[in-house]
């Protein structure tokens, strides 16, 4: 479990094909790895991955073909948002994020509004019903508040701190991004569905 509060921007240095998918070698950058052990979980661009090798500020993770098929950006070298898994004593500064990406969205607009940026993303239609104004969503592993929803598109305001502390400042129209909808919305839908099934 994660919070969506990115604690370091790292870099995928190498993506090596394996029998089951990919083995990624990641430079953790500013992420503190002093308390990371093999078997720990780290979110890479919002994808929960297990550390299988560790050497100083570099770690390796395996990515299954299933994960590759439903995410974006893990198969090529480049900067990534990193977050270590949540501990029970940690502050929940963002929202509860599982690291299980629900789908891939597309950036429709990325406009300057003073020092901020207005980010508009088009989500897959099947995810749109889970996205609500003033609700939470994780984009590339970053916990964000939705300002506006119009059909399958939603709008977010990115403040200078978020732009500086994550990779989101490098986005542009046409970019594809990993999305994870609010966990609570998923459970509410399931509970309401279970209620209707019980009356049938």
pLDDT at 35 over 60: yes
123 with 70, same domain: the answer is: no
**Measuring CA to CA, how many Å separate 28 from each of 43, 59, 152, 161?**
11, 7, 34, 20
Q: φ, ψ for residue 5 (rounded to 5)? A: -100, 100
Structural domains of the chain, count? 2
pLDDT at 117 over 60: yes
- Whether 95 is in a domain gets the answer no
pLDDT at 27 over 60: yes
pLDDT at 131 over 90: yes
The residue segments making up the domain with residue 38 are 8-84
Q: What percent of the chain has pLDDT over 70?
A: 96
**Measuring CA to CA, how many Å separate 53 from each of 10, 18, 23?**
16, 15, 10
CATH of the domain at 128: 2.40.30.20
77 with 114, same domain: the answer is: no
């Amino acid at each position: 479990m994660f919070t969506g509060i990115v604690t370091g921007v790292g870099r995928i240095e190498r993506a090596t094909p394996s029998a089951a998918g990919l083995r990624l070698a990641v430079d953790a950058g500013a992420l503190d790895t002093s308390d990371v052990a093999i078997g720990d979980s780290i979110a890479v661009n919002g994808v929960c991955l297990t550390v299988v090798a560790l050497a100083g500020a570099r770690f390796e993770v395996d990515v299954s073909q299933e994960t590759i098929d439903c995410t974006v950006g893990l198969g090529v070298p480049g900067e990534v948002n990193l977050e270590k898994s949540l501990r029970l004593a940690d502050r929940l500064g963002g929202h509860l994020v599982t690291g299980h990406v629900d789908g891939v969205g597309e950036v429709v607009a990325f406009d300057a509004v003073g020092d901020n940026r207005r980010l508009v993303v088009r989500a897959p239609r099947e995810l749109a019903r889970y996205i609500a104004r003033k609700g939470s969503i994780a984009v590339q592993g970053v916990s964000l508040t939705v300002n506006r929803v119009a059909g399958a598109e939603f709008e977010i305001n990115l403040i200078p701190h978020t732009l500086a502390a994550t990779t989101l400042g490098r986005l542009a129209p046409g970019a594809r991004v990993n999305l994870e909808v609010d966990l609570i919305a998923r459970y509410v839908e399931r509970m309401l569905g279970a209620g209707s099934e019980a009356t049938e």
